[in-house]
Amino acid sequence: MKTETIKMIRLVGLIALVIVLIALGRSSFFSVSESEQAVLTTFGKYTKTVDAGLHGKLPWPFQAVIILPVNLTQKIELGYGSSGANQYYSIPEESMMITGDLNIVNIDFFVEWKISDPYKYLFETDSPNVILKNMLQSTVRSVVGTKQIDDVLTTGKIQIQADVKEMLRLHLDSQDIGVMILDVKVNDSEPPTEEVAKAFRDVETAKQEKETALNQAIAYKNSKLPEANAQADKIVRAAEGLKQSKINEAMGERDRFLSMYQEYANFPQITRDRMYLEALEDILPNIRVYIDDGSNVLKLLPLDGSDSTPVLPGNAGN
C-alpha cells in the first residue's frame, strides 16, 4: 500500500513536471504577424522591440511580451458614436462648438491614426488613446473658433480638415506620445436648430443658382464675343478706308489749289477772268452770256448753240 502511494506521488509529480516544461516551452516562443510589432520586457522593464516573425524569450516570469497592431489604422469618432452596423448616435457635448463669429454649430469629426513608436506608446505615455482624443477636442475647438459659420457649414470644411490635421500633428510632435495622425475628416456640420439649418440651405441654394447664372452669362459672352470682334474689325477697316479716301481727296484738292495758284502767279489777269467765267458757269449753267470788251464786238459764252436767253453786259448781274 505504501509502495502504491509512492508510485502515485511520483506519477503526479512527473505529470506536473511535464506540464511545467510544456508551459515553459510555450512561453519561451512567440509569433508576431506582419501588421504587428512586439515589445519585450524583462521583469517589467523594456528590453527591445521586435518585428514580424517567430521569436524566442525567457519564460515567464522572467520575460513578457506585449504585441501591438502598429500597422493597423485605428479611428477616433468625435461628436458622435457607433453601436453596431450603421447605428450612430450624437454626443452633443463633443460636437457643439462656437465659431469665430460667435455662432453655435454642431460638427462631427472622424480621425484615423496608428501607433508610430511602441516603446513611447507603452512606457512614456499614460493612456495615450485618451490623451489623443483630448488633444483632438482641443485642436478642433481652436480651429473652429477661428472660422466663420458660413465656412463651417458650406465651403470651408476642406480647409478646416487641413488646419486640424496640421495643428494636431504639431501637438503630437511636441508631446511625442508614440502615435501619428493619418487623416482628419469633417463627417457632418449643421446649425443647432432646423430653422437655422433651413436658412443656410437656402443660402447655399442661392449661391449655386448665382454660380449657374454666372456660368451661363460667361457662355453667352463667349458665344457673342467673336461676332462682336468681327463687326468691330469691319467698322475699323471701313473707317480706315474712309480716312484714306478723305486724305487722298484732300491731297488732290491741295494739288489742284497749288496748280491754280501757280497759274495765277504766272498769268493773274487771265486766271481771274477764267475763274470769274467758271464761277458764272457754275452758278448759271443754262444762261448764255455776252461780253462787251469795249470794241463793239460781242463775245458769246459759252458757244454751245443753246437757246438760252442772253445776258448783256449791262444786265449781266440780273
- Single pTM value for the model: 0.53
Q: Return d(Cα 140, Cα 127) in angstroms, integer.
A: 20
For a pLDDT cut of 70, what percent of the chain falls above it?
A: 79
pLDDT of residue 298: 47
DSSP string, 212-223: HHHHHHHHHHHH
**Set of cell numbers at residue 104:** 453655435
Q: What is the mean pLDDT of residues 256-270?
A: 83
Closest CA to 191 of 97, 255, 101: 97
Residue with cell 516570469: 61
Cell of 295: 470794241
Q: What interhelical angle do 268-283 and 194-266 show, nearest 10? A: 130
- Spatial strand order of the sheet with 298-301 comes to 298-301, 288-292, 310-311
Rounded Cα gap, residues 41 and 58, in angstroms? 10
Q: Which of 56, 158, 43, 301 is nearest to 311 (CA)?
A: 301
Percentage of the chain modeled with pLDDT above 90? 23
Q: SS3 for 130?
A: helix
- Region 36-64: what's the mean pLDDT? 85
* pLDDT for residue 26: 61
Among 305, 284, 301, which residue's Cα sits nearest to residue 293? Answer: 301
Give the mean model confidence (pLDDT) for residues 32-45.
Answer: 88
Of 57-61, 76-80, 208-212, 311-315, the poorest mean pLDDT is in 311-315
Q: Look up residue 316 and give its three cell numbers.
A: 449781266
Confidence of residue 265 (pLDDT cuts 50, 70, 90): confident
Task: Give the pairing of strands 179-190 and 104-115.
Answer: antiparallel
CA distance 20 to 25: 8
Q: How confident is the model at residue 206 (pLDDT cuts 50, 70, 90)?
A: confident
Average pLDDT, the chain: 81
Q: Which fold has domain 74-192?
A: Tetrahydropterin Synthase; Chain A (3.30.479)
Segment 198-208 shows an average pLDDT of 76
- Give residue 98's pLDDT: 87
Express each pLDDT in 3-34 by its tens digit: 777 767 766 676 766 666 565 556 677 888 88
Cβ distance 123 to 44 under 8 Å? Answer: no
Task: Give the C-alpha distances (Å, rounded to integers) separating 184 from 74, 134, 150, 167, 168.
Answer: 12, 15, 20, 11, 10
Which pLDDT score, from 0 to 100, does residue 125 have? 83
* Confidence at 52, pLDDT banded by 50, 70, 90: confident
What average pLDDT score do residues 95-104 get?
86
pLDDT tens column, 152-178: 888 889 999 999 999 999 999 898 899
